[in-house]
Amino acid sequence: MSSEPVNVNDFKELARLKLPKMYYDFYAGGAEDEHTLRENIQAFCRIMIRPRVLVDVSQIDMSTTILGHRISAPILVAPTAGHKLAFHEGELATARAAAAAKTIMILSYSSTCSIEEVASSCNAVRFFQLYIFKRRDISALLVQRAERFGYKAIVLTADTPRLGRREADIKNKMIAPPMKNLEGLMSIDVNSDQGSKLETYANETLDASLSWEVCPISCSDSFYFYFLSSLGIIFYHPQDIMWLRSTTSLPILIKGILTHEDATKAVEGGVDGIIVSNHGARQLDFAPATISVLEEVVHAVKGKIPVLLDGGVRRGTDVFKALALGAQAVLIGRPVLFGLAAKGEGGVRTVLEMLKNELEISMALSGCPCIKDITRSHVRTQHDKL
């Protein structure tokens, strides 16, 4: 491509031209037949915007607050693995770009720069994404490191009891990118020269027994607790979430919710936020497009905790649609990786700026000067009556 990119999609092609095929496929690919991968994009196209005119849009304010953190626009950087495969500075470059855009970066536990390196390289608000390993002590240690180094929330990814079948990676014999945070911690040496196959590594390390299973609250010394217990009223909480809660005082978000049933359980389990996500269509093929289930989750949550969404967000209008259907913000995964591969830190900055500019125009042309002005009535889905 000879001309400069004018939208986020242009970065995909630039990245394809620049990256070794194995790495491009790792970033771009989805699970099995990639039905969900296509659907994540196409489902946005089936939602129309209902613009309102003759509203004063001479000033547009895209700023918003997520878990108490003020950001310039409701567009966050999703946790994705292996940024050094795209660019030699890896997550350090991404974090600086997030800081420049005044947004939140969610660092993947499987980053190629460490929790500590990213913390010292920039002043972006950072959340830390976690899986729960069979070795719980390792998960607890990562959480403690993140908390000590100023990360502001823990994002527990719940959709990966096993790794989805990403067939391009299987064909390419893709190995797990080096994981800086796990150096010296895992018996499976994910950082060895030979590496380990993605699936082997994931399936041997991640705890597939994680569940919503509840247990009575066992340790409470409050008079109130004993009083209620004596009346036969006992509190039940999901023990795995409780365990994570016991390791940190940070807010916990669950990433990977796609149904109202799980959204209700997450609220009951006391988490602080939900990310509607199908892992960028890399886990279960034929999982629904995230935008198509957002409203179901939002209704179940009833405004008690923030709901965020990722998957297929490529345009400012996509951000607008997600907000209209009840998301507080969106996350972007691949566009950041493609920006990083194409032009390093500057590429990620441009990607974030492009989406912000497009959102600003969408808001102006729809009659929404502020984020809170974007409402359900600004979109029409296929399920809406005319």
Report strand pairing: 125-130 vs 154-157.
parallel
Nearer to ligand FNR, 108 or 362 (CB): 108
Piece of the chain touching ligand FNR by CB under 6 A; list 75-83, 134-142, 217-225, 366-374: 75-83
Nearer to ligand FNR, 9 or 229 (CB): 9
Is 279 an active-site residue?
yes
Residue by residue, DSSP assigns 250-293 as S-EEEEEE-SHHHHHHHHHTT-SEEEE--GGGTS-TTPPPHHHH
Q: Which amino acid is located at 81 in the chain? A: A
Q: What is the CA radius of gyration of the chain?
A: 21
| 329: β partners | 308
282: number of CA atoms within 13 Å, CB side? 26
343 is known to lie in a ligand binding site: no
201 is known to lie in a ligand binding site: no
Verify binding: residue 255, ligand FNR, rule CB under 6 A.
yes
d(CA 225, CA 95): 44
In the set 35, 279, 299, 378, the catalytic residue is: 279
Q: What is the token pair recorded at 292?
A: 């198509």
User: Which x/- pattern, by CB under 6 A, does the window 329-368 give for ligand FNR?
Assistant: ---xxx--x-------------------------------
- What are the residue ranges of helices labelled H in 122-192? 136-148, 167-172
Nearer to ligand FNR, 79 or 326 (CB): 79
d(CA 245, CA 242): 5
Q: Please, what is the minimum distance in Å from the beta carbon of residue 156 to ligand FNR?
A: 9
Among the listed residues 74, 178, 306, 311, the single contact to ligand FNR using CB under 6 A: 311
Helix (H, G, I), strand (E, B) or coil at 349: helix
Verify binding: residue 279, ligand FNR, rule CB under 6 A.
yes
d(CA 81, CA 85): 9
- Asked if residues 333 and 49 have their Cβ atoms less than 8 Å apart, the reply is no
User: Which x/- pattern, by CB under 6 A, does the window 181-220 give for ligand FNR?
Assistant: ----------------------------------------
Number of shown-chain residues binding ligand FNR (CB under 6 A)? 24
| 128: β partners | 107, 154
312 is known to lie in a ligand binding site: yes
- Asked if residues 341 and 15 have their Cβ atoms less than 8 Å apart, the reply is yes
280 is known to lie in a ligand binding site: no
List residues with catalytic annotation.
Answer: 279
Binding residue ranges: 79-81, 108, 129, 131, 157, 166, 255, 277, 279, 282, 310-314, 333-334
Interacting residues toward ligand FNR by CB under 6 A: 26-27, 40, 78-81, 108, 110, 129, 157, 255, 277, 279-280, 282, 310-313, 332-334, 337
